[in-house]
Amino acid sequence: KNLDRCEHPSEFYRIDTGLTYPFIITSLQFARSAKNRKYLTSIYWDYVIFDEAHHLRRYMSSGTGNYRETLAYTLGKELSKKTNSLLLLTATPIQLHSFDLFSLLQLIRPDLFLSFEDFEFERKRLPLINMLIVDLHRFYDLNQFQRRNMVNLIESVLTTPPLINKAVHQFYEGISFEETMRDKSDKELKEDNDSKLEGKSDDKSDDKLDRQFNRHAKDLISETIIEPNRIKLYNYSAIEKAIQTLKGRELIIKKLQKYHFLSHFMVRNRKRHVYKDKFNERIVENVQVQLTKDEETLYKSIRLYLAKTYNEAMSSKNNALGFVMVILQKLATSSPPALISSLEKRIKKIKQYIEEKGWDLKPESVLQEMNLEEDDWDDWIELGSYAIDRIEQADKIKKEIEQNIKQLQVLKDFLKQLKQLHEDSKLDKLKEIVTDINTPHPQKVIIFTQFVKTLHYLEEELSKLNLDISVFHGSLTKEDKGKAVEYFKNYGDVLISTEAGGEGRNFQFCNIIINYDLPWNPMKLEQRIGRIDRIGQKKDIYIYNFTTLGTIESRIFEMLTKRIKLFKESVGNLEPILRNIGKSINKAILSDDNIVKTIEEFSDSLESNTEKAEEIGNQLDDFVLDKKSFQHYKVDQILDNRPYTLKDQDIFTFFNAFFNKLKIDGNSLGKIDRKTTRQTKKENMRSIEQTGKRADEDIFIIRLDDKLRRYTNLGQTEYEGVFNLELAKKEENLDFFALGHPLVNELSELCRDETFGNSSSILHLNSVHLGKLLDKDSISIGTENYHKEMKFNKRERHLLSEFLKGNGIMWMLVFESEFNGIFTEKNIRPVIVSEDGYILETLSEYLKYPRNMIQAVANIKNGQYNAKIGNPKEKTNEFYEQISKIQKKQLKSIIKRGQIFYKKRLQIERPKLEKYNEIMFKNELRRKLSLYQFKKAYITDKIEIYEDRINYLETKRPSKRQWLLVERTTDKQRKKRLTDRYNRIIKEIRSLHLETDELKKQLDELEFDLPEDIKRLEFYRKLSKRVWLSQIALILID
C-alpha cells in the first residue's frame, strides 16, 4: 500500500520513506490475491520472473475440455499480457502430466497451440526430431537402408513449415490468397468510368494501400523468415546429396533444430552441466541401533497399541486422534524424554476430558445448562424433549469415557516403564559416533531431530563430552537464530537443530550431518542435506542415519534408500511423487496387519509411484534440449571474448577513491575502513583452516555522510560487507559489494550524473607508473579471461618520454556512444590525444580499464580529487578559465581528431551488432505476426460463434402476434413466464450484437495497427548511431 510510481516510468517509490526502487519482489501467495493482482496487472512491466513456476497450475475438467485455473495461474496469465519478457523458473515443469508443461508454455506463447491435443501431437513428434539429429551425428554407423529411411523422414519434416513459423506461414498464405482473389476480381469486373467510380474512390485508395502493404509484407517475410520454395529445396534428392558431406549434415541439423518447438522457449539445465568441478560425493552410513531386551519389549508394546488405536481412529474418521498416534509413534523412535513428556501431556488431557464429560452425565449439569432451579416447576415441562436428546448423548459420552479410561491406564503403564529404563542405546551410539568424528581433529557436526524435547535432551547429554553446543529451533527469535548460526560457524562443535534448520539456512562450512530422527517424508531429508550440499561446499558430504534394528521404520527406509537412492543423490526429479508419500509411510508404519504383508504393499506402491515419476522425467529427456542447456565450455568462450568484466578489486578501488580521496566542497562523503575486531585465536584458526584468511580480513565497514544520503537513495548510514565473491559465499550475513548492491549502484549513478563533479577537468598522470609502462617492451591489457599484448609505437614512445620530462601536454577525451535498433548498445571510452593531434592508441586502450585509470591518475596536491555538485555550465566555465588561449584553439581540432578515431573504432564493432540486430528483428517480426494471427483467429472464431447464436435466437424472437397473445393471456403466471422468456431472448440478442460490434472493432484495430507495427519495427531494423563527447581533461605530469 506504500508503493507508487515515480515520475521515472521504470521506478517505484515508497510513500512512507520516499525511497525509490527499480523492481519489486513479492511472494506468490501475497501477489495472487484479487486486490494485489488487480494492482500488479495495471502496470506494464519490463520483466516478470516467477520462481517455483510449477505453482502456476490449472486443471483440465474431464469431459468438458474446459480449464480450471488456480489464482496463481490467473496472475501469471494476466501478467504475461503486461510484460515485455516473462521468465518461468522451475525444477519440475511436469508435475504429474504433460498438461502442466502445456499450461506453462501457453503463458509464454498462447498463439502456438489452440488446444492441449495440438500440443500433444507436436510433443510426440519431438523424439523423431531427436532421433534424426542423432542419426546424422553417427552417419557412418548407418547402413544404406537406414540412410534411405532417414532421408525419407527428413523430407517429411522439412517440407512442412516449423511450428515456430506456423502462424507466419498462415499469414503469408492468407495475404497471398487475398492478392490472387483481388487480381482475379480486377480481370472479371468491368466498370464504367461514371459517377459510380467516383463514389468508390476512397475504397480504391484503401485497396491500393492494402495491396502495397501485402506485397511489402510478403517480400519481408520471404526475405527474413520463411522459405517459399521449401518443397523444391528439401526434396529427397537434395537431402540425399546434402548428407554426403559434413557441412551438408550440419546444415540439415540446424534446420531440424528449428522444428524442435520446446527448444525455442525452454532451457533445461542439469546439475552435472552447471557444476564444472566434480560433484561432492554423498557418503552415507546407516547406523543400526541394537536395542536392549527391555527397550525392544517396550517399543513393540507401544507400537502395537499405537497401531491399533490409529486404525480404530481412522475407521471412525477421528483424524485428530489418528494424528496424535502418528506423533506418538515418531516420538517413540526419537528419545525417551520426548515420549515421556508427550505421554504426561496426553494423560493430563485425557483426565481433563473425563472430568468434563463426566459432569455432563450428572442431573445437576442438565439443570445448570437449562438455567433451572429445582422449584421452577412451570419450566420443567420444557425439559422433556431436551432430556431425551441428552440421554442419547449420554450413552455416546459414556462409551467415550470408558475408552479413555482404558487408554489412560495403558498410557500410565507405558509411562511407568519408560521412567524405569536406565539406558538409551540410541544416545550411546550417538556419543560414540560424535566422539569418533572429533578424534583426533575437531569437526563441525549438525544433528537433526524432529522434536524440541529431544533437542534439549541431546544438548544436555553431549555437553558432558566437553563439546561446544549450539541449538536451533522454531521457537527462537530471528535474531537468536542468527546468533546461533554465527556461534556455530565461528566457535561451535555441534549444532542440534529441528526441521527449522532444514529450510532457508546455508551451512556449507560444515560437511557432516547426523539424522538422529528420520522424518517420514523423504523431501524433508533432502532439505536437510541440501543445507550443506550447496555451492561453495568443498568437501564430500557425510550423512549418518539412525534407525532401530528390527523395526518397521528401519525396513521402510532401507527400501527408500535402495529404490530411489535416497541420501546418495538429489531426489528433486521425484518431488511430485515423494511430496505425498508421507501418508503411505504413516499407513505402513502404523498398520496392524502382518509386517511382511505391510512391507510388500508399501514396496509395490513405492515401485509404482517411482516408475510414474521416472516416466515423467523421461518425457523431458531430450537430445536437443541437452545440447542447448548450460555448457561450461560455451561460457568460457564467451568470457574469453569479453573485453572486460568488473572484478572485486575494481569495485574496491572505486570505493576507496570515492570515500578516501574525493572531497565535495572540501568535505568527504563518508569513510571506508577495514574491520578491526578482537577475534579470538580459536576463531582465527578456524577461519584460516576454512578460507585461508583470518576471520577479520577483507571485511569492511562503510559509513556514509548525511550529505551523501541526501544526494542518493540510500536508507542506511552504515554498511558492513565484503568485496570478494568467495568470502561472500561464506559470510552470508554480510553485504556483498558488487554490481547490483544498492550502495554500488547509487554511487555509480551519482558519479555519472551531470550535476556531479566536472565534465571538464585537469588530471595529473603518475610519472612513476607511466615510466614503468615505458620500460616494458609490451603491456598486457585486459582481464584474466580476455587480454592482449600491445606495444607503444615509436612516436607514442617518443611523445610519452618527452611528456615525462615535462615537455608538452596531452588531452583525454571521454566519448560515449549509443547504437539504437531493436536493442540498445552503449559504450564509453577514453581517447588520449597529444597537443599536435596524434592519437596515443595504446595508452587509450590501457586507460579504458578502471583499474589502470585509477593507478595512472596521480593524487592532486592535497591528496584528494576535488569535485562539486552543481550547475555543469558553471563548472565547465571554471575549467576554461584555467587553460590558455592557445590551448583553447587547439582543443577544437583535437576533439575533431579524437571523434574521427573513436568513430572508426565503432565501425569495426558495427557488423557484429548489425548481425545481432537482424536476429532480433526476425524474432520480433515472427512474434508480432504470430500474435496477430492468433488474435485474429481468436476474434474471428468468437464473432462466428456469436453470429451463429444470434441467427439461432432470431428464429426464437417473438413476433407481433406472439406478443399480442401474451397480452391477451389471463393466466398471470403464464403471462409472466412468457414475458420473461421473450425479454431474455431480446436482451441476449442485443447483448450479442453489442459484443459482436466490439469484436469487429477490435479486429479492425488489429488490422489497422499491424502495418504501423511492422513499419516501426523496420525503422529499428537499421542501426542508428549517436556519438558525443561527455568529458574532457587536460593531462599534466605529476
Query: Which tens digits make up the pLDDT trace of 93-122?
Result: 876 678 888 999 999 988 888 788 888 888
CB atoms within 10 A of CB 815: 23
Task: Note the pLDDT tens digit of each residue in 504-524.
Answer: 678 888 999 999 988 877 777
Q: What is the 3-state secondary structure (H, E, C) of 24-87?
A: CCCCHHHHCCHHHHHHHCCCCEEEEEECCHHHCCEEECCCCCCEEECHHHHHHHHHHCCEEEEE
The helix, strand and coil proportions of the chain, stated in percent and rounded to the nearest 5, come to 60, 15, 30
Return the pLDDT at 951: 92
- Model confidence at 620, pLDDT cuts 50, 70, 90, reads low
What is the pLDDT of the chain when averaged over all its residues? 78
Q: Is the pLDDT of residue 336 over 60?
A: yes
How is 753-807 classified by DSSP, letter by letter? Answer: STTBS-SEEEEEE-HHHHHHHHHSS-EEEE-SSSEEEE---HHHHHHHHHHHTT-
Confidence of residue 379 (pLDDT cuts 50, 70, 90): very low
- Assess contact for 341 and 456: CB atoms under 8 A: no
- Do the domain assignments include residue 67? yes
- Joined together, the cell numbers standing for residue 91 give 525444477
Q: At 480, which CATH number?
A: 3.40.50.300
pLDDT value of position 861? 37
Predicted confidence band of residue 815 (pLDDT cuts 50, 70, 90): very high
Q: What is the tally of structural domains in the chain?
A: 6
Peptide bond into 440 cis (omega under 30): yes
User: How large is the average pLDDT for residues 66-80?
Assistant: 91
What is the per-residue pLDDT across 575-610, written as a single tens digit (0 to 9) for each?
555 555 656 676 666 666 666 666 666 677 766 666
219 and 307 in a common domain: no
Asked if residue 123 has pLDDT above 70, the reply is yes
Which DSSP category does 269 fall into? -
Residue 806 gets the label, from left (phi > 0), alpha (psi -120 to 50) or beta, of left
**Residue among 950, 930, 931, 935 nearest 996 (CA):** 950
Residue for grid cell 531440424: 256
Residue with cell 450413552: 395
pTM, whole model, 2 decimals?
A: 0.68
Query: Is 454 found in the same domain as 562?
Result: yes
Residue 984: all three cell numbers together: 431474455
pLDDT of residue 782: 64
Instruction: Name the band, by pLDDT with cuts 50, 70 and 90, for residue 474.
Output: confident
DSSP-assigned letter for residue 869:
B
Distance CA 414, CA 344 (A): 10
Task: Please report which confidence band the pLDDT of residue 863 belongs to, taking 50, 70 and 90 as the band edges.
Answer: very low
Tell me: do 90 and 206 sit in the same domain. Answer: no
Assigned domain for 867 exists: no
Residue 275 lies in a domain: no
Q: Using CA atoms, how far apart are residues 959 and 119, in angstroms rounded to an integer? A: 47
Q: Over pLDDT 70: what percentage of the chain?
A: 74
pLDDT at 885: 62
CA-based nearest residue to 946, from 898, 994, 905, 914: 994
pLDDT at 331 over 70: yes
Q: What b/e string do you get for 545-572 counting C-beta neighbours within 10 Å, with b at 16 or more? A: bbbbeebbbbbbbebbbeebebbeebbe
For residues 672 and 660, the answer to whether their CB atoms sit within 8 Å is yes
The pLDDT score that the predictor gives to residue 197 is 47
Q: What are the pLDDT digits (tens) for 876-901?
A: 454 555 566 656 677 888 899 999 99
The answer to whether residue 113 is domain-embedded is: no
pLDDT band with cut points at 50, 70 and 90 for residue 46: confident
* pLDDT for position 152: 93
CB 514 within 8 A of CB 448: yes
Q: Looking at the structure, tell me whether residues 307 and 181 fall in a common domain.
A: no
39 and 25 housed in the same domain: yes
Residue 566 placed within a domain: yes
Q: Which stretch of DSSP H or E encloses residue 446?
A: strand 445-448
* Rounded Cα distance, 781 and 841, in Å: 12
Inside any domain, residue 451:
yes
What pLDDT is attached to residue 987?
Answer: 93
- Residue ranges of alpha helices (H) inside 225-318 are 230-233, 236-242, 246-257, 271-274, 293-315
Residue with more model confidence, 462 or 681: 462
Residue 819 lies in a domain: no
DSSP 3-state assignment of 163?
A: helix
- Return the pLDDT at 648: 80
Q: What is the mean pLDDT of residues 477-488?
A: 85
The whole-number pLDDT of residue 17 equals 65
List the one residue out of 660, 726, 725 whose CA is nearest residue 692: 726
pLDDT above 50: residue 386 = no
CA 703, 705, 709, 715 torsion-angle sign: positive
Residues 47 and 140 in one domain: no
Asked which of 557, 587, 619 is the last residue of a domain, the reply is 619
The percent of residues in the chain predicted with pLDDT above 90, rounded, is 22
pLDDT tens-digit readout, 240-286: 999 999 999 999 998 898 888 888 888 887 766 666 655 678 888 88
Q: Quote the CA–CA distance of 243 and 257 in Å, as a whole number.
A: 16
Nearest to 220 by CA among 172, 259, 152: 172
Domain extent, residue 151, equals: 129-264
Q: Which three cell numbers stand for residue 382?
A: 420444557
Query: For 293-302, how does the pLDDT look when each residue is reduced to its tens digit (9 = 90+)?
Result: 888 888 888 8
Which of the listed residues 698, 731, 753 is the one where a domain comes to its end? 753
Same domain, 602 and 469: yes
pLDDT digits over 644-674, tens only? Answer: 567 787 888 888 878 876 776 677 888 888 8
With cut-offs at 50, 70 and 90, classify the pLDDT of residue 775: confident
Ranked by mean pLDDT, the top range of 87-96, 821-830, 864-873, 876-885 is 821-830
User: 794: Cβ–Cβ under 8 A, 6 or more apart, which residues?
Assistant: none
* Nearest residue to 844 (alpha-carbon basis) of 868, 822, 814, 818: 814
Say whether both 451 and 586 belong to one domain. Answer: yes
Q: Would you say residue 401 has pLDDT above 60?
A: yes
- Looking at the fold, whether 256 and 211 belong to one and the same domain comes out as yes
Contact between residue 495 and residue 488 where contact means Cβ atoms under 8 Å apart = yes
Which set of grid coordinates corresponds to residue 360? Answer: 455432563
Return the closest-CA partner of residue 760 out of 706, 814, 806. Answer: 814
Q: Quick one: which of 848, 734, 835, 831 has its CA closest to 783? A: 848
| Residue 332: closest CA among 318, 312, 346 | 346
What sign for the dihedral angle of Cα 188, 194, 197, 199? Answer: negative
Indicate whether 378 pLDDT > 50: no
Whether residue 3 is predicted with pLDDT greater than 60 in this model: the reply is: no
Neighbouring C-beta atoms of residue 874, cutoff 10 Å: 9
What does the angle CA 216 – CA 221 – CA 225 come to, to the nearest 5 degrees?
165
**Which of 619, 641, 673 is the last residue in one of the domains?**
619
CB 786 within 8 A of CB 642: yes
Same structural domain for residues 457 and 585?
A: yes
Contact present, 531 and 272 (Cβ < 8 Å): no
When mean pLDDT is compared across 31-35, 228-232, 363-367, 820-824, the lowest value belongs to 363-367
CA atoms of 488 and 648, how far apart (whole Å): 28
Q: Report residue 292: phi and psi, to 5°.
A: -75, 170
pLDDT class of 201 with cuts at 50, 70, 90? very low
* Residues in Cβ contact with 582 at an 8 Å cutoff, skipping those fewer than 6 apart: 520, 521
Q: Are 806 and 1007 in contact (CB under 8 A)?
A: no
Compute CA distances 43 → 77, 79, 89, 699, whole Å: 14, 9, 22, 40
Q: What is the pLDDT of residue 838?
A: 93
- The average pLDDT across 611-624 equals 62
- Looking at the DSSP assignment, which residues form a beta bridge with residue 829? 815
- In this predicted structure, the answer to whether residue 28 has a pLDDT above a threshold of 90 is yes
Same domain, 429 and 406: no
Contact present, 431 and 463 (Cβ < 8 Å): no
Output the CA–CA distances (angstroms, integers) from residue 305 to 407, 456, 554, 556, in the order listed.
Answer: 9, 27, 19, 20
Are residues 81 and 48 both part of a single domain? yes
Indicate whether 943 belongs to any domain. yes
List pLDDT tens digits, range 521-551: 777 787 888 888 877 778 888 999 898 887 7
Q: Of 31-45, 340-354, 684-698, which gets the smallest average pLDDT? A: 684-698
- Rounded to an integer, the average pLDDT of 942-958 is 91
